[in-house]
Chain A
């Protein structure tokens, strides 16, 4: 690419970092919640999912 290579790379890298960070936060939150919910015994008739 030409003289604007660094601008293009910076834009794509920052987008990747932002979206990747968002995905990581959501996945870690899910794992933490599942771990915390596993400490409670399932009640009668409750769907554990």
Chain B
């Protein structure tokens, strides 16, 4: 892992891996969408609106997975001082925000025909909304502090404080009476969902995960290039300033 702490090594790895993960994502999405719209049946109660599940649930999983990646990166920044950890963390925040937004919006669209309302302030929905706000807060924090290492440390602390929200999201449906249904896939006694609906859901979940890996590699690569550009701009500005000062000094 420390081998890829070198940005040049990471860039080489990312350039090699991105086309493969992108291709895998496209293939998995096509298989998953075929399963979601062609082979899986409509629900006997919800009708075709159940097909929203194939994007809503993977987006929800990914929004939490992305926060987990950010938390691991935050530990990498604060504990191990890994040189790429804060770049990886900064790159993950907008991805997490978008997937959380997709989760909230598709959940709202699914909620209208199923529950008869677009939104309720129940524990699951509210805790996911809190996670979305934390993502926005982290993005704002990075933009508010100019020095990347200082911004990385501040964001890492805020990220670790926000980790408390992850078990609240996961167990909110068990701890409180909520309109949101309890877990039906990741359960101690096995999934309660029909196999004809389960396999497209799992394929879509893997597709969303490979999509996240692809986008995260791309965004981290951008962050490394942004820092390299910043460093080169500062060096160039210093060289220009010394070149401008030199003739004045010679005249004196």
> Which residues of A come within 8 Å of B, CB atoms?
1-5, 7-8, 10-12, 14-15, 18-19, 22-23, 26-27, 29-30, 33-34, 36-37, 40, 47, 49
A8 with B232, Cβ < 8 A, contacts A14-B105, A30-B222 known: no
Smallest beta-carbon distance A49→chain B, Å: 4
A8:B52 contact, CB within 8 angstroms? yes
Tell me the dominant secondary structure on chain B's binding face.
helix
Smallest beta-carbon distance B105→chain A, Å: 6
Chain A binder among B41-49, B74-82, B120-128: B41-49
A7 with B218, Cβ < 8 A, contacts A18-B101, A37-B232 known: no
A7:B229 contact, CB within 8 angstroms? no
Number of residues in B with C-beta < 8 Å to the partner?
A: 37
> Which residues of B come within 8 Å of A, CB atoms?
8, 11-12, 15, 42, 46-49, 51-52, 55-56, 59, 94-95, 98, 101-102, 105-106, 109-110, 112-113, 211, 215, 218-219, 221-222, 225-226, 228-229, 232, 236
Task: List 7 contacting pairs A-B, 8 Å CB cutoff, sorted by A.
Answer: A4-B47, A8-B49, A8-B52, A19-B98, A19-B102, A34-B225, A47-B11
Partner of A49, one of B8, B49, B51: B8
Instruction: Please indicate the chain B residues that have their CB under 8 angstroms from the CB of A30 in the complex.
Output: 218, 221-222, 225
Q: In the bound complex, what is the Cα–Cα distance between A4 and B109 (angstroms)?
A: 10
B98:A18 contact, CB within 8 angstroms? yes
Count, A-B residue pairs, CB within 8 A:
83
Instruction: Please indicate the chain A residues that have their CB under 8 angstroms from the CB of B211 in the complex.
Output: 19
A29:B236 contact, CB within 8 angstroms? no
Smallest beta-carbon distance B122→chain A, Å: 20
Partner of A33, one of B55, B226, B236: B226
A3:B109 contact, CB within 8 angstroms? no
Instruction: Please indicate the chain B residues that have their CB under 8 angstroms from the CB of A23 in the complex.
Output: 215
Q: In the bound complex, what is the Cα–Cα distance between A19 and B219 (angstroms)?
A: 14
Q: In the bound complex, what is the Cα–Cα distance between A12 and B95 (angstroms)?
A: 18
Instruction: Please indicate the chain A residues that have their CB under 8 angstroms from the CB of B229 in the complex.
Output: 33, 36-37, 40
**Known contacts A4-B46, A8-B49, A27-B218; 12 further A-B pairs (Cβ under 8 A):** A1-B42, A2-B48, A4-B48, A4-B49, A11-B109, A15-B102, A18-B102, A23-B215, A30-B218, A40-B229, A47-B11, A49-B15
B55:A1 contact, CB within 8 angstroms? no
A3:B47 contact, CB within 8 angstroms? yes
Q: In the bound complex, what is the Cα–Cα distance between A19 and B211 (angstroms)?
A: 10
Q: In the bound complex, what is the Cα–Cα distance between A33 and B222 (angstroms)?
A: 7
A22 with B215, Cβ < 8 A, contacts A3-B47, A4-B49 known: yes
